[in-house]
Amino acid sequence: MSGSKAHVPPSLSQASLLTAPQRQLLWAIAGISIVTNLLMLTGPVFMLQIYDRVLSSRSQATLIVLLVLVGFLYAVFGLLDHARARIAARLGAQLQHRLDRPVFETALRLSSRRGSDPAAAARAPQDLALVQQTASAPVFMALFDFPWVILFIGVIALLHPLLGLFALGAALTLVLIGGAGHALGRALAGAGTQSSQQADTLARQIADHAGQMQALGIRENALGRWQQMRETTLRKGLSALDHTGRFSAATRTLRLFLQSALLAAGALLVLQGTLSPGAMVAATIILGRALAPLDQLVSGWPQVQAARAALQRLRVLLQSAATSAPLVLLSQPKAALEVAGLGLRAPDAGGPRKAVLRDISFSLAPGQCMAVIGPTAAGKSMLAAVLCGAFPADMGEIRLDGARLDQYDPDLRRRVIGYLPQQLRLFDGNLRDNIARFDPQAKDDRIIAAAQQAGAHEMILSLPKGYATVLRADGNGLSGGQMQRIALARALFDDPALLVLDAPDTHLDEPGLRILNTAIRRARKRGACVLIMAHHPSVLAECDLLLRLDRGSMAGFGPVGKVLPATTQNATDLLRERPRVPSAPRPQPYPWELQRLEAGP
């Protein structure tokens, strides 16, 4: 084992979500917005010149020159407006491309911590996608156009102070009405979202356990309850849509009326001789330009708020990753496992967290095999999950070849630890990918070797498409024994240094148990550490150490010949059947142990 420099993913070491080039793109959008908003004055100025200069002088040459100039300016406006939209869309795409995997990996790692939000892993990619979609939406451009509302109102005030005050009042009125509408509609939208989530959760439960519900006679009642939830969701959704529609229609109608009202006020000033007809029409057009981004912000404000909340969650997520302990790149570890003072508490459930593992300590040398036994809810599966790094322990430490388990890079850790969980789970993809743990670089001979060790090779070849058979999470109709052998092949793939098997005898017949014992014997022979959460006594025949758990604590630990007689009635027969496997030598103390010995108590 060797160490090297600290390793932090570059995309997660950034305190900001945007890199320097991406921030430059934001500045480019802001700069283009300055020009496009100034070019929006082309129409009003052209109208002012037509009324006040062309019509009064009756000069056709002036009209032609003005028309050509306006056409050029509008062409420039169209190109720049399209350019900033393309830049914004690519800004969002770059952000999602750069952070997609780091954000999801960080969310998965942080969600395993005690007290963390269990929905963070699923919500983080959705937050990133929402930010990307908002960057491509018209409301994002409206954010850059909104500061120019004051400029447009100022131009109207230059034409006439009273018209400027009228335009300012119109803008404030739209903002107040839009804000009140969103404040009142937020509660309706939240209620509809909660009802929809409850209905979706029940639908997944019905789909996952349809056969069992049918056998229990509760399927029809569950469907009726789901239908009631869906009806409630529809009713609340329609109520929220009606509310949003009323305010959207009100703000749009009010905006059009205010433009007409400004035209009427301008006409009154023209009749009084204090305003020219060109200024009257120009002020009306400018007010429409000024209120357009306000209208877009009012209608798209919920999306802006959602994107802002998503950005805040992503920023907190990345800061949590940046402040976590950096990983140290370690080479391939030896199969030497040491567990010291391991403790684990159950996840929060609205009350005090109950300890499920207490002061678990043991060590395994290369080639040793240990069985973990105990009654139901003794903590066997939790111990297996913690040893494989599914989530961190609350107390104590786990060391593999002298280094703490959390110091290993996840990519290396998945190659050196083989895990067979008690609750079997295959994943969407073909059978080859499931065995290879979805490693695109996996070689076929290694996959076949793992399947042969698990006794699954012939079974796989009997399938119509062999290793190319497409699987779903439910196993595609495979029997429990077939799924067990495929999961065992996945655990054995690439000859891991640490092999953790949680109830590997489940769903296996006698031939399957013999194949399992052979696979365990082979792993020991090549020097791997093997831990078995045992339920079937025959599996104990391959073990030379035994750990008994009782309510999360060590009730016994030592050689099988000493611990087994106290726990199993037919211990004599099992001991007679155990193969003669040479016991591995006791490992030498690690440096930190020598330091403790030298330091004294």
For residue 542, what is the domain's CATH number?
3.40.50.300
Per-residue pLDDT at 349: 45
Domain count, the chain: 2
Which of the four pLDDT bands, split at 50, 70 and 90, describes residue 116?
A: low
Decide if pLDDT at 350 tops 70. no
Per-residue pLDDT at 187: 64
441 and 588 in a single domain? The answer is yes
Per-residue pLDDT at 6: 38
300 and 250 in a single domain? The answer is yes
Of residues 536 and 165, more confidently modeled:
165
Decide if pLDDT at 48 tops 80. yes
CA angle 454, 491, 436 (to 5 degrees): 95
Beta strands in 257-393 (DSSP E): 327-328, 337-345, 355-364, 369-373
Query: 125-134, 270-279, 411-420: which range is least confident on average?
Result: 411-420
56 and 119 in a single domain? The answer is yes
The tens digit of pLDDT for each residue in 467-492 reads 988 887 665 678 888 888 999 999 99
Decide if pLDDT at 399 tops 50. yes
Mean of pLDDT values over 505-524: 85
Mean of pLDDT values over 171-181: 82
Decide if pLDDT at 566 tops 60. yes
Q: Is 60 exposed, middle or buried (0-12, 13-18, 19+ CB in 10 A)?
A: exposed
Which of the four pLDDT bands, split at 50, 70 and 90, describes residue 36?
A: very high
Decide if pLDDT at 122 tops 70. no
CB 257 within 8 A of CB 174: no
Per-residue pLDDT at 481: 84
19 and 145 in a single domain? The answer is yes
Decide if pLDDT at 35 tops 90. yes
CB 393 within 8 A of CB 344: yes
Mean of pLDDT values over 230-239: 79
Q: What is the mean pLDDT of the chain?
A: 79
Of residues 434 and 352, more confidently modeled:
434
Which of the four pLDDT bands, split at 50, 70 and 90, describes residue 230?
A: confident
DSSP state of 528: -
Among candidate residues 299, 323, 347, the one where a domain is terminated: 323
* Total Cβ atoms within 10 A of residue 21: 9
Per-residue pLDDT at 598: 36
495 and 569 in a single domain? The answer is yes
319 and 444 in a single domain? The answer is no
**Residue 346 is assigned to a structural domain of this protein:** no
Per-residue pLDDT at 15: 42
Mean of pLDDT values over 527-534: 90
**Residue 229 is assigned to a structural domain of this protein:** no
188 and 264 in a single domain? The answer is yes
CATH of the domain at 305: 1.20.1560.10
380 and 316 in a single domain? The answer is no
Decide if pLDDT at 525 tops 50. yes
Per-residue pLDDT at 84: 92
| SS3 of residue 408 by DSSP | coil
Per-residue pLDDT at 27: 92
Per-residue pLDDT at 585: 40
Decide if pLDDT at 543 tops 60. yes
279 and 427 in a single domain? The answer is no
Among candidate residues 323, 339, 355, the one where a domain is terminated: 323
Torsional sign, CA 336, 341, 346, 348: negative
Which of the four pLDDT bands, split at 50, 70 and 90, describes residue 242?
A: confident
| Distance, first Cα to last Cα, the chain | 29
Distance CA 337, CA 410 (A): 17
The tens digit of pLDDT for each residue in 87-110 reads 999 998 888 888 888 888 777 766
Q: Which domain holds residue 377?
A: 365-385+420-599
Per-residue pLDDT at 7: 39
300 and 436 in a single domain? The answer is no
Query: 72-76, 184-188, 468-472: which range is least confident on average?
Result: 184-188
Query: 161-175, 215-229, 422-436: which range is least confident on average?
Result: 215-229
246 and 372 in a single domain? The answer is no
Bridge partners (DSSP) listed for residue 530: 369, 499
Task: Assign 3-state DSSP to the chain and report helix, strand, coil percentages, each to 5.
Answer: 65, 10, 25
The structure's pTM equals 0.63
Which of the four pLDDT bands, split at 50, 70 and 90, describes residue 544?
A: confident
The tens digit of pLDDT for each residue in 572-586 reads 554 554 444 334 343
Decide if pLDDT at 463 tops 60. yes
Sorted by sequence, the CB contacts under 8 Å of residue 414 that are 6+ apart come out as 437
Distance CA 399, CA 284 (A): 75
304 and 376 in a single domain? The answer is no
Per-residue pLDDT at 162: 93
Decide if pLDDT at 76 tops 90. yes
Mean of pLDDT values over 266-288: 88
Closest to 292 in 3D by CA, of 134, 157, 170, 164: 170
Percent of the chain's residues with pLDDT above 90: 18
Decide if pLDDT at 1 tops 50. no
Which of the four pLDDT bands, split at 50, 70 and 90, describes residue 241?
A: confident
Distance CA 211, CA 230 (A): 22
- For residue 552, what are the CA distances in angstroms to 188, 313, 354, 564? 46, 36, 10, 19
Distance CA 302, CA 286 (A): 27
Sorted by sequence, the CB contacts under 8 Å of residue 493 that are 6+ apart come out as 418, 435, 436, 437, 442, 446, 447, 450
Mean of pLDDT values over 559-563: 82
Beta strands 369-373 and 529-533, pairing class: parallel
